[in-house]
Amino acid sequence: MELHEIPNIPEILDTETAKRIKSWPHPNNRASEAGHPCVRFLVLSRTSNELKILHDVGLQRIFDEGNLHEDALMREMQDAGLRVIEQQRAYEWKKFQLTGRIDGKLPVDSSRIPLEIKSSSPNVFAAICELAPIDMLKSKFSWIRKYPAQMLLYMLMEGAEYGLMIFKNKTTGEKVQKIFRLEGELLEYAESILKKLETVNAHIDEGTCPDAALIDDCKGCAFCKTACFPGADYGPGIDILQDPDLEAKLDRRGELEAGAKEFDALDKEIKEGFKGRPGAVVGPWLIESSKHGRRGVDLPPDIKKQYEKITEYWITKIGRL
């Protein structure tokens, strides 16, 4: 056997993964997307789905891993004696041209509670973990707001008072559940989703589409550079990514930025005040200061030039659009 005969397994698997990257046309509104804030996006998803920019192999791997974790969690629940029925049951609500497919139902007494399972990265899990269902509606992340929209629509189609979503941290295996009840603000939110779908359906019936309007969700939208803002150019090689985990990190970075700048300013001010002083104890804080030297060689310019070399490095800047 020759070395070149050994198959490159990661390459083979990535080739198979790439085959799953497809944009499927769908004539109806989908419960999983109904929480999207942009009516134009929902109309285009039904009429011009071929214009969507497809995601890459890296993101498809993440989707595939998520499916594996969700299947594993379903088996874990069943192994623990929890009975889940009507798995992957299809729903259709013709009045709103709405379809969906639920993960299952959990029998509790005489009720059948709609059940949805979601796996997530540690950052996304942390963003969701402490949120009550009502808080999810008010999240600045549209992908978090889409979760209750999906669940509430299933509850309406099922005629169920309660719904249950379970989130799993793909790294630690930790789980958290959210119990939804059709009342108050949650019911109002569900009704607002249905009104939005009526608007979408009206556009479909009339063959129209809302004008493009720039909102936060345009960043990373698969239609942004094809159907809405085809002339938008953020520079050569700049991609528009759909990556909730990275977006969560960047938003958290933005939240910490002001505090980090304040810390740096205070740190510099305090340390400057102790140059030439050995230190001090201030309340519970110990400040120690010491003098150090740095050795260097001062060469004549003509000699220094003989030893100059170019070292490549990257400078990455992060700013808001």
Identify whether 49 is part of a domain.
Answer: yes
Return the pLDDT at 317. Answer: 60
Identify whether 108 is part of a domain.
Answer: yes
Return the pLDDT at 236. Answer: 47
Nearest to 188 by CA among 138, 128, 127, 116: 138
| Lowest mean pLDDT segment, chosen from 239-243, 291-295, 310-314 | 239-243
The rounded distance, in Å, linking the Cα atoms of 70 and 119 is 6
Task: Say which residue the tokens 């809405």 belong to.
Answer: 228
Better pLDDT: 289 or 293: 289
| Lowest mean pLDDT segment, chosen from 61-70, 204-213, 284-293 | 284-293
Return the pLDDT at 237. Answer: 46
* Residue 52 scores a pLDDT above 60: yes
Identify whether 235 is part of a domain.
Answer: no
Give mean pLDDT, residues 145-170. 93
pLDDT tens for residues 17-41? 888 888 777 889 999 999 999 999 9
The rounded distance, in Å, linking the Cα atoms of 169 and 126 is 9
Give mean pLDDT, residues 119-132. 87
The structural domain count of the chain equals 1
Identify whether 270 is part of a domain.
Answer: no
Give mean pLDDT, residues 56-66. 85
Residue 288: which pLDDT band, with cuts at 50, 70 and 90? confident
Better pLDDT: 122 or 310: 122
Torsion angle of the four alpha carbons 288, 291, 296, 300, in this order, in degrees rounded to the nearest 10: 130
Give mean pLDDT, residues 96-118. 93
Return the pLDDT at 28. Answer: 92
Identify whether 41 is part of a domain.
Answer: yes
Better pLDDT: 31 or 140: 31
Identify whether 100 is part of a domain.
Answer: yes
* Residue 321 scores a pLDDT above 60: no
Q: In this prediction, what percent of the chain has a pLDDT beyond 70?
A: 89
Identify whether 111 is part of a domain.
Answer: yes
Give mean pLDDT, residues 244-268. 76
Residue 165, SS3 per DSSP:
strand
The rounded distance, in Å, linking the Cα atoms of 216 and 247 is 12
Residue 271: which pLDDT band, with cuts at 50, 70 and 90? confident
Measured in whole angstroms, how far is the alpha carbon of residue 252 from the centre of its chain? Answer: 13
Q: Are 90 and 99 in contact (CB under 8 A)?
A: yes
Identify whether 257 is part of a domain.
Answer: no
Domain hosting 165: range is 22-228
List strands edge to edge, sheet with 104-108: 104-108, 111-120, 162-169, 175-181
CATH of the domain at 200: 3.90.320.10
Distances (CA, A) of 227 to 51, 59, 103, 231: 7, 22, 32, 10
Positive or negative CA dihedral for 123, 127, 129, 130? positive
Averaged pLDDT of the chain: 84
The rounded distance, in Å, linking the Cα atoms of 108 and 102 is 17
Return the pLDDT at 21. Answer: 82
238-243 contacts at long range (C-beta below 8 A, 24 or more positions apart): 240/53, 241/59, 242/55, 242/59, 243/59
Return the pLDDT at 252. Answer: 78
Positive or negative CA dihedral for 32, 35, 37, 40? positive
Return the pLDDT at 185. Answer: 92
* Residue 155 scores a pLDDT above 50: yes
pLDDT tens for residues 206-247? 999 999 888 878 877 888 888 888 865 555 445 556 677 777
Instruction: Count CB neighbours of 294 within 10 A.
Output: 4
